[in-house]
Amino acid sequence: MRTRPGTTLLETIVVLAVLAIVLALVWAAWTPSAARRTARGYLQTVQGARIAALAGTPASVRWDPDRHAFLVRHGDAGCGGDPRDLFAPVPPVAVTRRLRDGVAWLPDGTGRACSGGGVFGGRVRFEDRRSAWDVVVASTGRLRLEAAP
């Protein structure tokens, strides 16, 4: 029997399959979870409301249980008026912890609860099967994203 140097088609297919599996595992580990992407979107929504308030128009971000989304309102001390924007979590992500009364940003840059409460602080938690992420909201305007314990 005569042998030829080189690889067979079957060997090439096996190597490509193994590389595809390794690439899929690396890709899954490298990309952020849906919960993290959603938490980052919420953080940017709250930052946008604060920037609008600093420009002179009070703004608020509150959870609407009927729509299962966060509503962004402008004017009337931030908590009233028609919603201008809507931020809804993507379906695999659940909002498991919310600010009880939402957050209203005032033109001086400080925040308060929509119920009229004074200084507040809180966390909004987003969870999916892979991970859980918190957005920490402080009345001073500081916002941060962190992995939930």
pLDDT value of residue 117: 66
Amino acid code (one letter) for 70: F
pLDDT value of residue 133: 93
pLDDT in tens, 119-145: 567 889 999 988 999 999 887 778 899
Secondary structure, 3-state, 74-113:
ECHHHCCCCEEEEECCCCCCEEEECCCCCEEECCCCCEEC
Is the pLDDT at 16 greater than 70? The verdict is yes
Q: How far is CA 49 from CA 28, 109, 135, 149, in A?
A: 33, 10, 15, 27
CA atoms of 81 and 49, how far apart (whole Å): 14
Q: pTM for the whole thing?
A: 0.77
CA atoms of 10 and 34, how far apart (whole Å): 37
Structural domain spans, the chain: 55-147
pLDDT in tens, 67-114: 888 988 887 655 776 777 888 888 889 899 888 778 888 888 788 887
pLDDT value of residue 76: 67
